[in-house]
Homo-oligomer: A and B are copies of this chain.
Amino acid sequence: MAGLVEFKQHPSSTLKAGSGFVLAEVDPDSTPGFTGNKADGQALLADLDDKLAQLQEQLFAESRFGGTKRILLILQAMDTAGKGGIVKHVMAAMDPQGVQFKAFKAPTEEEKSYDFLWRIEKEVPAAGMVGVFDRSHYEDVLIHMVHGWAAPAELKRRYEAINEFEARLTDSGTRIVKVMLNISKDEQKARLLARLDDPAKHWKYSSGDLTERAFWDDYMSAYQAAIDNTNTEAAPWHVIPANKKWFARIAVQQLLLAAFDDLHLEWPKAEFDVGVERELVARS
């Protein structure tokens, strides 16, 4: 077997939304920093599973001894962009015991009666955990902007509230990985048709998908605005070309690995005398 193809440039730099970032200029078919093909990508993904699993275990282990570090992966995207596949193929490498997954659906009446961050706050990851948000508080500045459910002044208030919220998470030990999976409108069409062609996937299809699809350009504007207003140093946006599912998966995996690296994790030191305990166990 030939050697692994690795990233030439790291996604944490190539996919980061810098100043003057323009969403429309991202090519959803591209694979920035990676010259390999699908098979190369899948091999890389599999190869790094163990590393990701070990880092997650170290994060969890630290928290048992007072560590407060944690990771929060925020996934935003248009329908069919592959959020579920990221959860299944990237996060599945980690121990389910250390992963806190939350899919945010349309808010309930009770949730709507509070500020939009109320239901989000309750789901932030505990110390030592890797949290995954499938959709998030960003829906409140995306779909709400698209359909005019929030006026410009209210959207401005929400952007600021989000930035304060995310800074507070960061200050209390959370490393935020904020991701938009970026597919093209044509790719969405192909994926919707594929769902309709497979009876095992009909349950994933809803005619509501088409309703939102009609607002595609408005959604792109809303994403651009959200990125412009919430692309902070504490929680920068990464926009991942996602027409190629395999690329989106290795890109998210790389971002997670970089987030773990930033945390400088180590196995907790034994707080007992190993030799003494060994003797006690042997005699027991």
A interface with B by C-beta (< 8 Å):
61, 64-65, 84, 87-88, 91-92, 95-97, 99, 101, 103, 132, 134, 189, 192-193, 196-197, 199-200, 202-205, 207, 210, 213-214, 267-270, 272, 274, 277-278, 280-282, 284
A214: nearest residue on chain B (CB-CB)? B284
Q: Smallest distance from the beta carbon of A244 to chain B beta carbons, Å?
A: 21
B88 touches A84 (CB 8 A): no
Residues of B within 8 A of A200 (CB): 267
Chain B residue numbers with a CB within 8 Å of A192 are 281
**B207 and A272 within 8 A (CB):** yes
| A260 shortest CB reach to chain B, Å | 15
Q: In the complex where A189-B281, A277-B196 touch, is A205 in contact with B270 (Cβ < 8 A)?
A: yes
Q: Which of A92, A97, A99, A280 has the most CB of B within 10 A?
A: A97
CB–CB A274/B202 < 8 A: yes
Given contacts A200-B267, A269-B202, A272-B205, contact A193 B282 (CB under 8 A): yes
| A204 cross-chain contacts in B, Cβ below 8 A | 61
Residues of B within 8 A of A270 (CB): 199, 202, 205
Contact with A97, one of B87, B193, B197, B207 (Cβ below 8 angstroms): B87
Q: Which B residue's beta carbon lies closest to that of A268?
A: B203
Kindly provide the distance from the CB of A203 to the nearest chain B CB, expressed in whole angstroms: 4
Q: How far is the CA of A205 from the CA of B267 in the complex (A)?
A: 13
With contacts A193-B282, A284-B213 taken as known, whether A277 is within 8 angstroms of B95 at the C-beta atoms is no
- Tell whether, in the assembled complex, residue B284 and residue A210 are in contact, meaning their CB atoms are under 8 Å apart: yes
Residue of B nearest to A91 (CB): B96
Contact present for A101 and B97 (CB under 8 Å): yes
A247 to B192, CA, bound (A): 42
Distance of A96 Cα from B95 Cα, bound (Å): 10
**Which residues in B have their C-beta under 8 angstroms from that of A99?**
96
Q: Are A202 and B267 in contact (CB under 8 A)?
A: yes
5 pairs of A and B residues whose beta carbons are closest in the complex: A61-B203, A202-B270, A203-B268, A192-B281, A196-B278
The complex places the Cα of A193 from the Cα of B274 at a distance, in Å, of 10
Known: A189-B282, A278-B196. A92 touches B96 (CB 8 A): yes
A193–B92 CB distance below 8 A: no
